[in-house]
Amino acid sequence: MNHLRLLLARGWTLVLAGLLAACSTIDDPVANALHKVTPYRVEVVQGNFVSKEQVQALRPGMSRNQVKDILGTPLIASVFHADRWDYAFTIRRKGTAPQQRKLSVFFNKDGFERVDAQDLPSEAEFAERIAVPEDRKAVPRLQATPAELDKFRKTAPSSESAAVTQSDQPRKNYPPLEPNTR
């Protein structure tokens, strides 16, 4: 009896394993669509973007506040390197390569002295580099042709006929919302 139960258990196990294996080979469109679903990736922007135009606006001898007004607050202003500010910028955006920029601003006492930077892009170049090359729908035409305008004018009711239909209907009088206490 015990031998028979063991044989039946093994048989059912083989049958269930065969059914499960058969299910995995079925071409299911819902399952295929789920494999194409990817999680949302957050656009990560860190630091201050400093453009070529901003660096060109710096002049030797400028105060720290003037430099800060042009470039923004530095990412690193170390106590150990009081004569140096470091700016770093990183952007990771879906569909484009990650970009990193580093810039160091050096001061002589309290006046601006020089900039040590990688090849900085202009604002236009940067905007072009972060543009996502995804398949975008074409912008719809936002101007009507004269033929389309004429067609609209023929189907739209004229303002005169709208005024006549409003004056044909009797006016409705409603009681006041608040009692007259004067």
Residue 42 in this model has a pLDDT that exceeds 60: yes
- Are 96 and 130 in contact by the 8 Å Cβ rule? The answer is yes
- Quote the pTM value: 0.49
Q: Whose CA is closest to 86, among 57, 122, 117, 55? A: 117
Q: Whose CA is closest to 100, among 54, 45, 57? A: 45
Residue 41 CA to its chain's centroid (Å)? 10
Each residue of 3-19: pLDDT tens digit? Answer: 888 888 888 898 888 77
Residue 97 in this model has a pLDDT that exceeds 80: no
Architecture of domain 44-129: 2-Layer Sandwich (3.30)
Length of the chain: 182
Each residue of 167-179: pLDDT tens digit? Answer: 566 777 877 778 7
**Which whole number is the average pLDDT over 139-157?**
78
Any idea what DSSP says for residue 72? -
Q: Where are the domains of the chain?
A: 44-129
